[in-house]
Amino acid sequence: NSNSECPVDSEELGRSGWTVLHTMAAYYPENPSENVQKDMKNFMTLLSRLYPCKRCAKDLRKDLKDDPPDVTSQKSLANWMCNLHNKVNEKLGKPLFDCSKVNERWRDGWKDGSCDS
């Protein structure tokens, strides 16, 4: 649907959802306090209960149980989020993302300068 002023489907919700999640990980502190680490864990748990795509939320609850968020640093959280997204990519038959480039994609821009204005 070319009209952007309409309710979203699970694909569009997903694209916006990943934008929020990867950008949160991109700007997560290098040295997070205990409280910040707890908040991030709670955020993911609550997202897995409230995410408005029921089957996605169900799988997310299982993924969080199997591999809990690594909230100890920016790098570890960004990498963990990338792996989480790759699990969904794999399930949906989408290409896997190279997680060594996650900070280029979501924080610094590509090394070739293509994101510089």
The reply to whether 6 sits near ligand FAD by the rule CB under 6 A is no
How many chain residues touch ligand FAD (CB under 6 A)?
21
Spatial distance between the Cα atoms of 69 and 77, rounded to a whole number of angstroms: 7
Answer for which of 8, 18, 24, 76 binds ligand FAD (CB under 6 A) is 18
Among 10, 45, 73, 79, the residue binding ligand FAD under the rule CB under 6 A is 10
Calpha distance 5→7 (Å, rounded): 7
Instruction: Provide the strand spans (E) within 1-117.
Output: none
State in Å, rounded, how far the first CA of the chain is from the last one. Answer: 29
Nearest-approach distance from CB 36 to ligand FAD, in angstroms:
20
| Ramachandran category for residue 116: left, alpha or beta (phi over 0 → left; psi -120 to 50 → alpha) | beta
Interacting residue with ligand FAD among 24, 41, 43, 59 (CB under 6 A): 59
Interface contacts to ligand FAD, rule CB under 6 A = 10-11, 14-15, 17-18, 22, 55-56, 59-60, 82, 85-86, 88-89, 92, 94, 97, 102, 105
